[in-house]
Amino acid sequence: MKTFLPTPTNAVPRPDQVQSLVSFLEHEPNPMIVLDPNYNILAANTAYQRQFGSADKPFIGHKCYQISHHYDVPCDQAGENCPMKKAQEMRGPDRVLHIHHTPRGPEHVDVELRPILDEHGAITAYVERLTLVRSASARPSDEGLVGSSPAFNLALAELQRVAPSLLPVLLLGESGTGKELFARAVHETSERADGPFVVVDCSGLTETLFESELFGHEKGAFTGAVTRKPGLVETAQGGTLFLDEIGDVPLAMQVKLLRLIESGTYRRVGSVETFHANFRLIAATHKPLEKMMEKGEFRQDLYYRISAFPIHLPPLRNRVEDIALLVNSFLQRRGAGKRRLTIDAEALAALEQYSWPGNVRELRNVLERASLFADDGVIRAIHLPQVCVTPPPQAAASMPLDDSSLAQTLATFKGTRSELAKHLGISDRTLYRRLKEQGLA
């Protein structure tokens, strides 16, 4: 719904009109602010002041990108998606996921921006709604998803979109990319968060065992069935059923799984009674299901049932900016009573240059191994596996980013800043940060 303000074309709202907006926004539980078309913060409701405000850092009258990101230029000029630019182009609302600076440190924030039109149809202001994303952390964390790179944020933004719905989610990605953590985050962000989260490990289950595990069995249904056993579908009632490595489901069982999803009913092994299922489905695999369909190894009808909302999880080599964050999180998560560990700059640089074929799982294993050698509490390059500290052949050709070489590259490179970032093998946002640090922005 569009809101109209009786102001002259291209003029900002009058103070009394801004106050009327704020009075309306005070009834909203989410933090909300009013912006003019020049990015200036005109007003904020109490929820915003409570969650994002700071007594020693006034924000009224300041640019939103200065307050939220500490940027000197609008988000789109710093490698971010700018909701104001998109809302201006579409003359309608836009929604993005950003990392904002808050009194608690950097945090993921779901931002929704709506334009305010005057009686002539000109945009005079914007109302911005901010929702903290609690399913992931942009700081070292004791649990859950951790990351702040563009690739990670893209997957997280898609998670935020689909979680409140009941659509089946298909998580796609290499082994070790954190598919179960993402599945749990979908569950905890949904309306079923108070229900059970049930994991079914589809790999290694035979056809008979898979059916018994999923649907349960009656006493005497087969040799060894001495009691009635509820299945995981029944255990997931009112919650979420996570089918991990669904590409390993036996072809004969895919028919029964499809029937469960389509009809919402199932029968225990050895029973004629029909039960009704009530769960939200999340599936995951590292296998190429589309190629498996072509070979007849995965049913096409089942694929289209489970893939209503696919999310591609990035490999660790595509989120190098997150490695330091992940390392500090893993070191922070060490068991109670264990000594605190740190990592020196040389070891961290080696980890950031390694390609990580085993992804986040491999990184965690490497750190656990290195911790056994860090007698003085500091992980050094000598404690890492040799494969992590031997630079790949192409590393020598990568572009250095010290002050002089970056300045020289910037002066001689013919192309846009986005093209330069791609040439250097870093994100637009990382390039902007480096340029800003060196006074080249």
Q: Say if residue 90 is in the same domain as residue 106.
A: yes
Tens digits of residue pLDDT in 398-421: 444 555 667 767 776 767 777 777
∠ CA 188-333-52, rounded to 5° = 55
339-344 CB contacts, 8 Å cutoff, 24+ apart: 339/377, 340/377, 341/371, 341/374, 341/377, 341/378, 341/379, 342/377, 342/378, 342/379, 343/378, 343/379, 343/380, 344/378, 344/379, 344/380, 344/381
**pLDDT above 50: residue 94:** yes
Q: Which residue is listed with tokens 């031997």?
A: 390
pTM value is 0.83
Quick one: pLDDT band at residue 8, thresholds 50, 70, 90?
very low
Give tens-digit pLDDT for 96-130.
Answer: 999 999 999 999 999 999 998 888 888 989 999 99
Neighbours of 135 (CB within 10 A): 20
Check whether residue 347 and residue 372 sit in a common domain: yes
pLDDT tens per residue across span 185-239: 999 999 999 999 999 999 877 877 888 889 887 886 677 776 778 889 999 999 9
Q: Domain with 171 in it: what CATH number? A: 3.40.50.300
% pLDDT > 90, the chain? 61
| Residue 13, pLDDT score | 63
Token pair of 210 as six digits: 């898979």
Residue that finishes a domain, picked among 279, 312, 345: 312
Which residue's entry shows tokens 């009786």? 6
282 and 345 in a common domain: no
pLDDT digits (tens, 9 = 90+) for 266-280: 888 888 888 999 999
pLDDT at 403: 59
Out of 269, 291, 312, a domain closes at 312
* Environment class of 87 (CB within 10 Å of its CB; exposed 0-12, middle 13-18, buried 19+): buried
Q: Indicate if 168 and 235 belong to the same structural domain.
A: yes
Q: What is the pLDDT of residues 126-157, one digit of tens each?
A: 999 999 999 999 999 988 999 999 999 999 99
Judged against a pLDDT cut of 70, whether residue 255 lies above it is answered with: yes
Q: What would the pLDDT profile of 371-383 be if each residue is shown by its tens digit?
A: 999 999 999 999 9
Its domain, for residue 381, covers 316-388
Could you give the CA distance from residue 417 to residue 35 in angstroms, rounded to a whole number? 28
Q: 341 and 308 share a domain?
A: no
The answer as to whether 333 is a domain residue is: yes
- Confirm whether 7 is domain-assigned: no
In a domain? residue 408: yes
Is 398 a domain residue? no
Q: Are residues 271 and 217 in the same domain?
A: yes
What are the backbone dihedrals phi and psi of residue 403, each rounded to the nearest 5 degrees, phi first?
Answer: -55, -50
If asked whether residues 267 and 348 sit together in one domain, one would say no
Q: Is residue 1 one of the residues assigned to a domain?
A: no
Please identify, among 263, 287, 312, the residue that sits at the C-terminal boundary of a domain: 312
29-47 mean pLDDT: 92
**Residues 282, 340 within the same domain:** no
Structure token digits, residue 378? 């500091």
Residue 37 lies in a domain: yes
Residues near 136 by Cβ (< 8 Å), separated by ≥ 6? 108, 144, 145, 146, 147, 152, 156, 185
Q: Which residue has better confidence, 57 or 22?
A: 57
Distance between CA atoms of 56 and 59, rounded to whole angstroms? 10
Residue 353, token pair as written in the block:
């240059």
Same domain, 158 and 46: no
pLDDT at position 9: 41
Task: State how far the Cα of 439 lies from the Cα of 407, in Å rounded to an integer.
Answer: 10
> In terms of DSSP H, where are the helices of 97-168?
150-162
What is the number of domains present in the chain? 4
CATH of the domain at 339: 1.10.8.60
Asked whether residue 205 is domain-assigned, the answer is yes
> Does a structural domain hold residue 413?
yes
In a shared domain, residues 301 and 249: yes
> Parallel, antiparallel, or unpaired for β 169-172 and 279-285?
parallel
Whether residues 328 and 281 fall in one domain: no
